[in-house]
Structure 1
Amino acid sequence: MKEIEVVAAIIFDGEHVLCVQRAPSKYAYTSLKYEFPGGKVEANETQKEALEREIKEELSMSIIVGSEYLTVRHSYPDFTILMHSYLCIATDRSLVLHEHVDAKWLEIEEFKQLDWAAADVPIVDKLMEEKA
């Protein structure tokens, strides 16, 4: 099965974290699910560079990338992803949705109200455990 290396940004603005909703897709198991924004790492870049580039491309937003938070390997029916998540800070809350259909700034305690992509659930769970 094909494995895809990706990065994800856990973007904080004070006590709020940015959660974005994927657009409809051919895979029902990821279609319209919420996730932490990010994308694929290209051959010529570091994970942090990939994260900064993806956030600019997807959200027209600049972030400060901090420390790596959690790496998740998740197998979906058609592919596996290796996702490296990073704690980030928003330099500004303004954003433009280029690929997603919704964005919410939520406190960690509010995360369970969203329907998360399966690969993001371990990150959600860890953030919620640490906040409790």
Structure 2
Amino acid sequence: MKTVKVVAAVICDSFENTTKIFATARGYGDFKGQWEFPGGKLEFGETLHEALVREIKEELDIKIEIGELIDTIEYDYPNFHLSMDCFWCIVTDGEIILKEAETARWLKKDELDTIDWLPADRTLIDKIESQLADLQKL
């Protein structure tokens, strides 16, 4: 099975005191309308960070600061295997403009389960909720 290597930005309002996370609904393809964290495929020779900065600029027209790796999701879709490196990110410059997504939302921690996530992104939600809970204990 073919492996597709991608990066995803879990864009939050603050690294230190995260209260909201940004999600987009796909505007095209087989999974149109389902929700995901923005990002995309690595191009030949790119590092993970270079790819993520490029993809977010292309999709949302913003600059980001990349924080810690949350997790690497390995997920088998029917026609390919997805390997997705997911990073905490914050917006450092620009206003979000949706260039590819159908719609977008800032979600509070208790709203993460209220939308129809793509299967691979869904597997990341528990990890995000756990990390946010740990932050609140500090």
The alignment's TM-score, normalised by the length of structure 1, stands at 0.91
- The residue identity in structure 2 corresponding to 1:21 is A
Query: Is the counterpart of residue 23 in structure 1 residue 27 in structure 2?
Result: yes
The alignment's TM-score, normalised by the length of structure 2, stands at 0.87
- Secondary structure in structure 1 of the residue aligned to 2:98: coil
Number of residues of Structure 1 aligned to a counterpart in Structure 2:
129
Task: Provide, for residues 35-88 of structure 1, a one-character-per-residue CA deviation record: whole Å limited to 9, x for no partner.
Answer: 010000111210001000000001101110111110011111111110000011
Distance 1:97 1:130 in 2: 27
Q: CA deviation at 1:11?
A: 0.6
Deviating beyond 2 angstroms after TM superposition, the runs of 4 or more aligned structure 1 residues are 129-132
The 5-angstrom pairing of residues 1-132 of structure 1 reads 1-14=1-14, 15-25=19-29, 27=30, 30-92=31-93, 94-132=95-133
Distance 1:17 1:93 in 2: 17
For structure 1, list consecutive stretches of 5 or more residues without a partner in the other structure: none
Seq. identity, %: 40
Q: CA deviation at 1:31?
A: 2.4
Distance 1:24 1:46 in 2: 26
Q: Is the contact between residue 19 and residue 34 of structure 1 (CA under 8 Å) also seen in structure 2?
A: yes
For structure 2, list consecutive stretches of 5 or more residues without a partner in the other structure: 134-138
Q: Is the contact between residue 13 and residue 93 of structure 1 (CA under 8 Å) also seen in structure 2?
A: no
- The residue identity in structure 2 corresponding to 1:88 is C
Q: Is the contact between residue 73 and residue 81 of structure 1 (CA under 8 Å) also seen in structure 2?
A: yes
Aligned alpha-carbon RMSD (Å): 1.4
Q: CA deviation at 1:100?
A: 0.5
